[in-house]
Structure 1
Amino acid sequence: MADRKSFQTALIHSDYAAPGGFAAFPTPIHHASTVLFENVAALRSRNWQEKTGYTYGLHGTPTTFTLEARLAEIEGGEHCVLAPSGLAAIAMVDFALLKTGDDVLIPDNVYNPNRELGRWLSQDFGITARFYDPMIGAGIASMLQPNTRLIWTEAPGSVSMEVPDIPAICKVVREKRDAGQDIHVAIDNTWSAGIAFRAFEHGVDIVMQALTKYQSGGSDVLMGAVITRDRELIHRIELAHMRIGYGVGADDAYLVLRGLPTMKLRFEAHDAGARKVAAWLKARPEIARVLHPAFEDCPGHETWKRDFTGAGGLFSVVFDEQYTEEQTDRFIDSLTLFKIGYSWGGAASLCVPYRIQSMRRQWNGNGQLVRFNVGLEDPADLIADIEQALSAL
């Protein structure tokens, strides 16, 4: 090729290369769909599943590899795969481990999109999805079938806040696996951000995190992660990731990386603020129950006290039965600092109503359930906001 390039070609192929030696705190953002190889031998020899090199943007860049490694380290795992959302991460686990004729168990208090995904698997894929009492503990043994391949757990349930006995469930599953059954336990560990509950230390095989929440902390990113310590499991998950074609943008990965250094500080601030607000609500005559795992009367509190080291900012309340849905809706509409929205884990506080009786097969009581996410505002201001809104009842 001639040394002198045309203007158009020079716009694409430059001879300049930036000098090495640059160092800074932020992880560089590598945008790439196409990955370049030094030669054909490198192209043919590179294995995308081993993550020892780069093959295609979908399978990772230095930015996403760095995020995956840091998330695995935070959670106490060894391998991580990113997905475009928390629900995408759940689906990736399902499609990695389940096929037609298999059975999956899902807790009755599960994140509702996971419930709907289970129903879809049953309806269109020939995979039975059965729902179990989240407080079943070792009793899960009575529900296992020879074709049960996966048990989903959520600690606690992100609406009704029951805390399951994860070690008891994992012990049953481990005994079945030792006897030759291909079965695993997965957990949605988003509520604790991997900070307050060390899932792998309690026997879990697969951890799912919705990085949309505490990891990013900015209410501006959709992303999920699947983490494990098992190399065979991660290869199955990576194959599902490739076949579905999940991709995560480098800019979003950077935003999550930027949030990680402050995550523990933010989580602890959410936790402290939420306990103050929840304690104040517990003394209010309008509130029949406060569903916060750190409170003694929350289902599974003793398990929380044994297995957890914190609680974050999410909890629910049940209003006295005398208050109608119309009244509690008016209460929420009257809040000014608390905004109405489903997500959580960001700096701004949120509040949302749930028709819990229609979500759960078994639910005691008829009061209206309202879930709070306490952000990083001054708890005294949040309490004042709730107090003025209660007058709207």
Structure 2
Amino acid sequence: MMKVRELQDDPASGGRKAGLNTRLAHSGFDPAEYHGFVNPPVVHASTVLYPDVATMKAHSQKYRYALWGTPTTDALEAALTELEGAAGTILLPSGLAAVTVPLLAFLSAGDHCLIVDSVYGPTRRFADKVLRRMGVDVTYFDPHEANDIARLMRPETKVVFLEAPGSNTFEMIDVARVAKIARDGGAVSMLDNTWATPLFFRPIEHGVDLSIHALTKYPGGHSDVMLGSVSANSSTYARLRENQMIIGVNAAPDDTYLVLRGLRTMGVRLARHGDTAMRLAQWLESQPSVAEVLHPALPSFKGHELWKSQFDGASGLFSFVLRADEAAGSRFIEALKIFGLGYSWGGFESLILMVDLSDRIYAKKPEAGIVIRLQIGLEDYEDLQNDLRMGFAAAGL
């Protein structure tokens, strides 16, 4: 089988780059390299033997020790590197580890780190509890003021950490502009790209140095695995990989295989997630008990134009403001039969939770009510709509 990256060199293709679903189906592993099997081997390993002392001293064989990689981790790393347009990718045991390892790799005592205020809550907790203890000064900035972060840059600013859209409230930023400000100021830029996946947004193409993913979400897709990744450009990859090995974390083979398997169908699943989510978001806009729908693909959303100019699509996660107090919100949630009450997202099942904005500096609880976050799974639209109707009725809305 011809490798996908070679398709554009085939005269029959006319030089056209393979489409995203084709790349998802075939990236990362060539069956010809392993007896024709279409899936890579799941290598359970720690020790790797060397043929002689000279080879061990020179580190001249491909695999040295399982921490440094196996054919299984190589396959997923190669697929993600191609999809991201990166110089290389590392795998980590969770999405949070994919956040913390690059921060540890590029920050030291006395450094300054700028973080968007709409960041994933555990990222903030790591910054406040660990980075500050390490002697790193952390400043959060308003995502709506991201274009002006040059005034917050200092000589000691070494990392600008972004998330687009923002967690739970989905604020948008001009990623290329902010990445350029970071680069001009001598800082490395990182972006948590879990919401969009590389199918809908590729941060490195917009000047970001490192693209972070919770592979637990859409790439895994089945709510049965924890994994994370960081894809890096050529100026940051070597340092990122070196620090990963110094810390001593990599991905387990079975988890890696499950994510690689999920990656093959991510395109068709995301299309379903996104289509149903958009229909529900439009319907929710028409409901009298909904004050606002926070979905970047809606024309009514404040950051819609920024989203449209940068992203190729929308996934299945969004929020809305319910005109209710917490007691009515609890009745709404607890009346649902299909939406489960739980963290995470990106799996086959729909989920719901009440958003806590108490840790945010620039986004406070809306006066109109409470923020409800929906993860739209693969169920039928009509069933999800009816489930939400039941919630409204139970809450007296």
Match of 2:75 in 1: 66
In the alignment, residue 349 of structure 2 is paired with which amino acid?
Answer: A
Q: Is the 8 A contact 1:121 1:129 kept in 2?
A: no
In the alignment, residue 169 of structure 2 is paired with which amino acid?
Answer: S
SS in 2 for 1:195: helix
1:162-201 deviation per Cα after TM superposition (whole angstroms, max 9, x unaligned)? 111111101222323xxxx3x1110000000111112111
Give 5+ residue unaligned stretches, structure 2: 1-32
Q: Is the 8 A contact 1:27 1:257 kept in 2?
A: no
In the alignment, residue 341 of structure 1 is paired with which amino acid?
Answer: G
Displacement of 1:361 in angstroms is 3.7
Match of 2:46 in 1: 33
* 1:252-271 mapped onto 2 (5 Å cutoff): 252-271=255-274
Displacement of 1:282 in angstroms is 0.9
Is 1:342 aligned with 2:347? no
Provide the aligned C-alpha RMSD in A. Answer: 1.5
SS in 1 for 2:337: coil
Q: Is the 8 A contact 1:121 1:128 kept in 2?
A: no
1:96-132 deviation per Cα after TM superposition (whole angstroms, max 9, x unaligned)? 0000000111111100000111102343110011100
Q: Is the 8 A contact 2:86 2:232 kept in 1?
A: yes
Displacement of 1:219 in angstroms is 0.7
Displacement of 1:360 in angstroms is 3.9
Query: Distance in 1 between the 2:134 and 2:184 partners?
Result: 28
Match of 1:223 in 2: 227
Q: Is the 8 A contact 1:289 1:317 kept in 2?
A: yes
In the alignment, residue 292 of structure 1 is paired with which amino acid?
Answer: H
Displacement of 1:341 in angstroms is 1.1
Match of 1:207 among 203, 206, 211: 211
* 1:84-95 mapped onto 2 (5 Å cutoff): 84-95=93-104
1:45-96 deviation per Cα after TM superposition (whole angstroms, max 9, x unaligned)? 117xxxx711111111010011101111111112001111111011110110
1:3-41 deviation per Cα after TM superposition (whole angstroms, max 9, x unaligned)? xxxxxxxxxxxxxxxxx9722111111110111112111
In the alignment, residue 313 of structure 1 is paired with which amino acid?
Answer: G
Is 1:184 aligned with 2:188? yes
* 1:268-287 mapped onto 2 (5 Å cutoff): 268-287=271-290
Match of 1:9 in 2: none
Is 1:166 aligned with 2:175? yes
Match of 1:316 in 2: 319
TM-score (structure 1 length as normaliser): 0.89
Query: Distance in 2 between the 1:21 and 1:107 partners?
Result: 44
In the alignment, residue 96 of structure 1 is paired with which amino acid?
Answer: A
* 1:367-386 mapped onto 2 (5 Å cutoff): 367-386=369-388
Q: Is the 8 A contact 1:35 1:56 kept in 2?
A: yes
Q: Is the 8 A contact 1:81 1:227 kept in 2?
A: yes
Q: Is the 8 A contact 2:183 2:189 kept in 1?
A: no
SS in 1 for 2:36: coil
Match of 1:14 in 2: none
SS in 1 for 2:132: helix
Match of 1:246 among 244, 249, 265: 249
Query: Distance in 2 between the 1:129 and 1:325 partners?
Result: 32
Q: Is the 8 A contact 2:34 2:40 kept in 1?
A: no
Match of 1:109 in 2: 118
Match of 2:15 in 1: none
SS in 2 for 1:191: coil
Displacement of 1:135 in angstroms is 2.0
Is 1:75 aligned with 2:84? yes
Match of 1:131 among 133, 140, 145: 140
In the alignment, residue 111 of structure 1 is paired with which amino acid?
Answer: Y
Query: Distance in 2 between the 1:21 and 1:261 partners?
Result: 18
Match of 1:120 in 2: 129
In the alignment, residue 290 of structure 1 is paired with which amino acid?
Answer: V
Match of 1:290 in 2: 293
TM-score (structure 2 length as normaliser): 0.88
In the alignment, residue 318 of structure 1 is paired with which amino acid?
Answer: V
SS in 2 for 1:369: strand
Query: Distance in 2 between the 1:205 and 1:22 partners?
Result: 37
In the alignment, residue 208 of structure 1 is paired with which amino acid?
Answer: I
Q: Is the 8 A contact 1:184 1:205 kept in 2?
A: yes
Query: Distance in 2 between the 1:282 and 1:86 partners?
Result: 32
